[in-house]
Amino acid sequence: MTGFPLAPRPSLVSRRRFLCLAGAAAGLVVGPAMGPAPAGAGRASTDDEHRLRLRLPAATSNGGRVPITVEAGHPMAPDHHVTTLTVVNPRDPVPLKGVFHFTPASGQAYVAFQARLDEGASTVLAVAECGRHGRFTAEAPVAIAPGAGGCAGVPPAPGAIEDEIRPPVIRIPRLVADGRVDAGEIVEVQLKTRHPSRTGLVLRDGAFVRETEPFHLRDLEVRYDEEPVCRFALSAALSDNPLIAFRLRARRDGTIRVTLSNTRGQRFEATHRLRLG
């Protein structure tokens, strides 16, 4: 894949490493000012431009499918835009929920998806990278009911995984509702998938044990004709059959092309011809 900054593949990493990440990210919020700072330094902001919005339910009884939405009210100009959003839950055995890369063609740094979160009370953390001003963060508490955690599970029966996979489908709610998209409009694009997500972990005597290799969607790339829009690096914490949403600025008649790949190297593609009204 070309046209996107690359990040390390999401993987099962130590909880200690992500506790360090969370602590560092929390430390980025250093005050209300947005004055000059060293390159790469994090900073808080009182303005909408550098305020990150993280939404998820405060409590749920389904830890295997927790809806998460992250968006930034930030310009997406070539020389000043959000390049990356990262979502983690440091206390989970699979802390990293996804790394989401954006180009100015996105129109807005925005992602909605469903993730696995383990039982108990915890805090989900989102970290945004602004190409000009560094990092800014948001966090939100969540409580998963006992017995409803989502990172461990029983391995499927042989052959069951292949039966669960279907090609992805693109849906644009604006077209469904109004039948048209205007030039320059930022539209939401939804990708409906049919693909399981297995962490390979089981819970035994209160500890997570790896029983099988993880199996999940790994990469999602979006192009508008040949123009890169966004690229998502997904982890085993993704829910089964996730509905993934992103945004792009509709500037011309063209084809939206989404390419997915999984940890076995299988590739899937969906296209949608966008005609402006």
Cβ neighbour number for residue 235 with a 10 Å cutoff: 26
CA distance 259 to 252: 21
- Show the domain range for 83: 15-31+39-274
| Domain of residue 192, CATH code | 2.60.40.10
DSSP 178: H
**Per-residue pLDDT tens over the stretch 245-263:** 999 999 999 999 999 999 9
The DSSP symbol for 239 reads P
Q: What are phi and psi of 50, to 5 degrees?
A: -115, 40
The verdict on residue 7 lying in a domain is no
Q: State yes or no: pLDDT of 34 exceeds 90.
A: no
- 241 falls within a domain: yes
- pLDDT for the residue 50: 82
Quick one: which of 276, 272, 235 has its CA closest to 253?
276
Q: Is residue 152 part of a domain?
A: yes
Helix (H, G, I), strand (E, B) or coil at 204: strand
Name the residue type at position 60: T
Mean pLDDT calculated for residue range 72-90: 95
Which residues pair with residue 193 across a beta bridge? none
Q: What are phi and psi of 239, to 5 degrees?
A: -70, 160
Asked if residue 8 belongs to a domain, the reply is no
Residue 6 lies in a domain: no
pLDDT (average), residues 3-15: 41
Note whether residue 3 is domain-resident.
no
In a domain, 72, yes or no: yes
Residue 74, burial from CB neighbour count under 10 angstroms (0-12, 13-18, 19+) = buried
Q: Answer whether residue 4 is part of any domain.
A: no
Query: Number of structural domains, the chain?
Result: 1
